[in-house]
Amino acid sequence: MKGYCIMLSDHNDADNMFKIIKIEVRDVYGKQKIYPICENAKRFAHIAGTTTLTFATLKLIEELGYTWELHDNALSYLKQILKV
């Protein structure tokens, strides 16, 4: 059986622009849940075997060199209504 190793380099600044995941926080029965929005965030949730991300998982994702952006549904809704 052959093994494969894929090397990922952080040396290229162009690669770093793809190291942002988008999430949103929803209140579900009084608990804050972190939902992935972009494909990479969904992949991390899939790897974790969950549909949401935890604060501990976000910390590990940050240790891999990723940052996250919080998507605000209320703000997006207002922008849509106001056409800003």
Could you report the per-residue pLDDT of 30-45, keeping only the tens digit for each? 888 999 999 999 999 9
Contacts 24+ apart (CB under 8 A), 45-51: none
HEC string of the chain equals CCCCCCCCCCCCHHHHCCCEEEEEEEEECCEEEEEECCHHHHHHHHHHCCCCECHHHHHHHHHCCCEEEECCHHHHHHHHHHCC
Domain chopping of the chain, boundaries: 18-82
Instruction: Supply the pTM of this predicted model.
Output: 0.67
Could you report the per-residue pLDDT of 49-82, keeping only the tens digit for each? 999 999 999 999 999 999 999 887 666 666 666 6
Cβ atoms of residues 40 and 17 within 8 Å: no
